[in-house]
Amino acid sequence: MQDSISEESHPSALDHPMDETGPGQSATATPPVDSLETLMAGLQNLRTEVLLGAHRRLERFSRDYPGEVPLSARNLAHYLAFRSLDLRPIQRGLARQGLSSLGRTEAHVLASINQVTRLLGQLTGRPVAGLEDEPAIDYDTGATTLRDNADQLFGPPSGPREVRIMVTLPSAAAVNPQLVMELMEEGMDCARINCAHDDAQAWSAMIGHLRAAEAQLGRRCTVLMDLGGHKLRTGPLEFKPAITHIKPRRNLLGRVTEPAHVHLLPEGTGQDPVQARGQYAFSLPQATLDGLQSVDELRFRDTRGKARVLRLVEPLPKGGWLATLDQGAYVSDETEFVLKRPDANGHLSPVLSLRLGWLTREPVNIRLYKGALLHLTRDPVPGRPALVDDQGRLARCARIACSAPEALDLLEVGQAVWIDDGKIGGRVESVDASGVMVRITHCRPQGSRLRADKGLNFPGARLNLPPLSPQDMKDLDFVVAHADLVGYSFVESRQDMVVLMDELARRGGAGLGVVAKIETGRALENLSEIILATLGRHRLGVMIARGDLAVEIGGERLAEIQEEILWLCEAAHVPVIWATQVLETLARSGTISRPEITDAAMAGRAECVMLNKGPYILEAVHTLNDILVRMQAHQHKKSSQLRALRLCAD
């Protein structure tokens, strides 16, 4: 990170002050700082370095602090200077004397250095003067400041739990108030609404259900609205041919036991009902549906030329008609149906011809293999799979569009490309006016399926997109009027934060809390300046968006980087949201994996943990609540809490 912790730092270096030896090294390779006098001199030099380094950093933010520099900003500057040094020799010396090794100073850096200096002064008989000259947050104030900031940002947590639980609301929350109520009953403290999905009408309904649940349960649940940002995504796919095989229910002998049930629904219904075996759905204009009668038949020849009859049975309770088909049929969007109705003599006479519409269409299947080419296009043409000729030669490669074609202008040959949170990877092989050609280098052995609306990442590329998209500017009006917090997607710099704060001020949202989502390598490098530019101007939180971040920096580095973000934010007394894939298997499938349990336990060191949506989200909230309550008795931030252990009892 820029101005912060080196890439080679290790969490254990501070938590376990012991000699680090490697092959061929002795335990005394680095001379220990043993004598009290040497320790005192080293500690005083350390204090001077910290003060000078902090002063240099804060000078760059003098315009952001026209008055007094906030103590939290000062403490962060102290921490940045402190962690820019190799502290291991002095740590070992302090530990040998039974003194604090300064490994847990994040929230109160200078006060901790001062206190150890005082103790050394007493031990050597040489008290040190002037330790109070520089403002510093003490041990108790550091802890309470972070706790108070978390309460102001998220509100207090529910029950005995110290860490809040945030849940991404699914689209169903707009029409299912009971789901929102049950989420709050299970322990949801903060509801996240993703502005990249749904619309203002749905968001209003979600928030309305949330406020009603608050009133009924007697406790607050804050609303975070995430701006969509310039999320680079794959474009839409072509559809498969509209062909449906309608099959009646048959027994083991192949005899029809129940006709196929076909729902004829109004156009624009927007969703396909659950298609159990023997139940299908198509659309017709409302005027046509209004004219149907239960004596009508729809006669047609299927794609094989076989004559079939669709018989109208009865109107459906929510509109449309139920029809039945006694024999199997293949129906396409080109199949012509003739509506016949009995005349006065009971003879069936044709009334009109029509074609059925499809409520939903299935997209084509694009499967990418290692070594294959993918054309990432500027034009928003539907994606399609590769085509192989009769001799097995590639006639055309697979293609898919990029949602922000201007981003492709800045890509160069050799640029890494990651798709769908790292499931598919490749490198740019060529660039032309139509887009870029990507050679696939990473996918599953059996190939990986490329889908629409999946994230695109170009690690390290400077895309020079404005921090707020045109859609973000529109969504901000709603966010300021209805939300408690705004999530800033793809923020990367101090200037990006200034842009958002100015836009909030124009809309009367100066009091709105801001959550900076750290999801790119550049945001990581600039994390300290993002925080320093915002402290004192807005309530601030930081989200560790581990999905995009892992793709950007590499999964191998994520483990250490998420630790470093926690440390920096604690030094600034900024609450952290631990996000992405927490208990994801449980939320999606109803089963939990052992690694996810450990990850959820580690998440308890943040002030808030975010769960994503899924069919089993209620179970995930319940489980996370249980884990967090249990772990808070054992761990707080970097400190182990040594409560009495049942395993150690007599």
Confidence of residue 277 (pLDDT cuts 50, 70, 90): very low
312 or 359: which leads in pLDDT: 312
Whether residue 192 contacts residue 167, with contact meaning beta carbons closer than 8 Å, is answered with yes
Whether the predicted pLDDT of 556 surpasses 90: no
Whether the predicted pLDDT of 113 surpasses 90: yes
* pTM, two decimal places: 0.80
pLDDT of residue 392: 82
pLDDT of residue 648: 81
Phi, psi values for residue 443, rounded to 5° = -170, 180
Comparing CA positions, the residue from 507, 518, 522 lying closest to residue 547 is: 518
Report the mean per-residue pLDDT for the chain: 90
The DSSP output letter for 105 is: -
Q: Return d(Cα 621, Cα 43) in angstroms, integer.
A: 46
pLDDT of residue 270: 57
pLDDT of residue 305: 96
pLDDT of residue 315: 94
pLDDT of residue 15: 35
pLDDT of residue 114: 94
Whether the predicted pLDDT of 12 surpasses 70: no
Alpha helices in 84-199 (DSSP H): 88-96, 109-124, 139-154, 177-186
pLDDT of residue 331: 95
585 or 1: which leads in pLDDT: 585
Task: Tell the CATH topology of 145-230+466-646.
Answer: TIM Barrel (3.20.20)
pLDDT digits (tens, 9 = 90+) for 46-60: 999 999 999 999 999
Confidence of residue 30 (pLDDT cuts 50, 70, 90): very low
- Overall average pLDDT of the 245-265 stretch: 93
pLDDT digits (tens, 9 = 90+) for 446-504: 999 999 999 999 998 888 889 999 999 999 999 999 999 999 999 999 999 999 999 99
Whether the predicted pLDDT of 274 surpasses 80: no
pLDDT digits (tens, 9 = 90+) for 138-173: 999 999 999 999 999 999 998 899 999 999 999 999
Task: Tell the CATH topology of 366-457.
Answer: M1 Pyruvate Kinase; Domain 3 (2.40.33)
* Percent of the chain residues past pLDDT 70, beyond the cut: 93
pLDDT of residue 33: 54
Whether the predicted pLDDT of 195 surpasses 70: yes
298 or 632: which leads in pLDDT: 298
161 or 10: which leads in pLDDT: 161
Matching residue, tokens 């003098």:
62
pLDDT of residue 9: 38
pLDDT of residue 591: 93
Whether the predicted pLDDT of 268 surpasses 80: no
Amino acid occupying residue 315: P
Between 9-18, 152-161, 354-363, the lowest mean confidence (pLDDT) is in 9-18
pLDDT digits (tens, 9 = 90+) for 198-226: 999 999 999 999 999 999 999 999 999 99
Whether residue 401 contacts residue 238, with contact meaning beta carbons closer than 8 Å, is answered with no
Q: Return d(Cα 425, Cα 374) in angstroms, integer.
A: 11
- Overall average pLDDT of the 578-601 stretch: 93
The DSSP output letter for 381 is: P
Whether residue 23 contacts residue 51, with contact meaning beta carbons closer than 8 Å, is answered with no
398 or 9: which leads in pLDDT: 398
pLDDT digits (tens, 9 = 90+) for 236-250: 999 998 899 999 999
Helix axes 71-83, 109-124, angle to 10 degrees: 70
